[in-house]
Amino acid sequence: MDVTTWYLEQTSRSDLLPAKPPEIEVDIVRAEVVSPEFSRFLNTAVGGDWHWTERLPWTWQQWADWLDGGVETWVAYHRGTPAGYAELLPDDDAAVEIVYFGLLPWAVGKGVGGHLLEVVAARAWDLAERQPDREPTRRVWLHTCSLDGPAALANYRARGFRVYDSRLNVPGDGYEGPTPGPWPGAGPRHRRMPGAPPARG
């Protein structure tokens, strides 16, 4: 199966476009304590349906080293329950990459994704205010591929990200077989979870 990878960027804070308010109450909070357990949970809970498998073999120490290297994790909550998250990774060229971004299945379709992306992109632009050793951000970028959620590319474009490159079958971006789900035996969860709040309207 051919997989297309798109690379998108913003080169000015003014590129960021607002999203509509989400349909449910959402609080977006930075996870300021290094917690490999929590970050692994977020990665598998969000990415289990989308072939996010490259970090599954990571040890506790690999997670700790990653999180202790300047990465910021921002988590969206609804009524105390994680709804989605994003990771921001600054580099030495005054750029910030949105490394991971996504929602738990129950939060999809409620306007959470656009709102979360608006907030985390803004946090990428002001990251140097929280990390004074960093230069002010001059570029925010990310990549997505055709295996990701069907609304991903449209959401990035709607928030003002522009495609600057696309590639076919990038090594590491193609996967075969079924998605693993958040843990063995869970399987894909493309349905509303029991007890999840329905969308309004």
pLDDT for 150: 80
Assess contact for 197 and 21: CB atoms under 8 A.
no
The confidence band for 13, taking pLDDT boundaries of 50, 70 and 90, is: very high
CA distance 66 to 69: 5
Q: How many domains does the chain have?
A: 1
pLDDT for 178: 67
The confidence band for 1, taking pLDDT boundaries of 50, 70 and 90, is: confident
CA distance 131 to 34: 16
- Give domain status of residue 84, yes or no: yes
Judged against a pLDDT cut of 70, whether residue 146 lies above it is answered with: yes
Q: Which residue has the higher pLDDT, 49 or 136?
A: 136
79-92: per-residue pLDDT in tens?
999 999 999 999 98
- 8 — alpha (psi -120 to 50), left (phi > 0) or beta? beta
- Reduced to 3 states (helix: H, G, I; strand: E, B; else coil), residue 28 is strand
- Give domain status of residue 199, yes or no: no
Judged against a pLDDT cut of 80, whether residue 44 lies above it is answered with: yes
- Give domain status of residue 185, yes or no: no
- Other Cβ atoms within 10 Å of 2 Cβ, number: 7
- Give domain status of residue 187, yes or no: no
* Predicted TM-score (pTM) of this structure: 0.88
> Nearest Cα to 123, choosing from 10, 8, 5?
10
CA distance 88 to 75: 11
- Give domain status of residue 99, yes or no: yes
Kindly report the CATH number assigned to the domain that includes residue 155. Answer: 3.40.630.30
Q: How far is CA 120 from the centre of its chain?
A: 9
Residues of the domain holding 47: 4-168
Judged against a pLDDT cut of 90, whether residue 52 lies above it is answered with: no
17-36: per-residue pLDDT in tens?
999 999 999 999 999 999 99
> Nearest Cα to 46, choosing from 102, 107, 126?
102
**Burial (CB count <10 Å: 0-12, 13-18, 19+), residue 193:** exposed
Question: What residue has token string 């798109």?
Answer: 6
- Give domain status of residue 197, yes or no: no
Judged against a pLDDT cut of 70, whether residue 129 lies above it is answered with: yes
DSSP 177: S
CA distance 190 to 104: 10
Question: In the predicted model, what is the mean pLDDT of residues 39-50?
Answer: 90
Mean pLDDT of the chain: 88
Question: In the predicted model, what is the mean pLDDT of residues 59-84?
Answer: 96
- Give domain status of residue 143, yes or no: yes
pLDDT for 188: 63
pLDDT for 192: 45
- Give domain status of residue 103, yes or no: yes
Q: Considering Cα of 141, then 176, then 54, then 123, what sign does the dihedral take?
A: positive
pLDDT for 169: 81
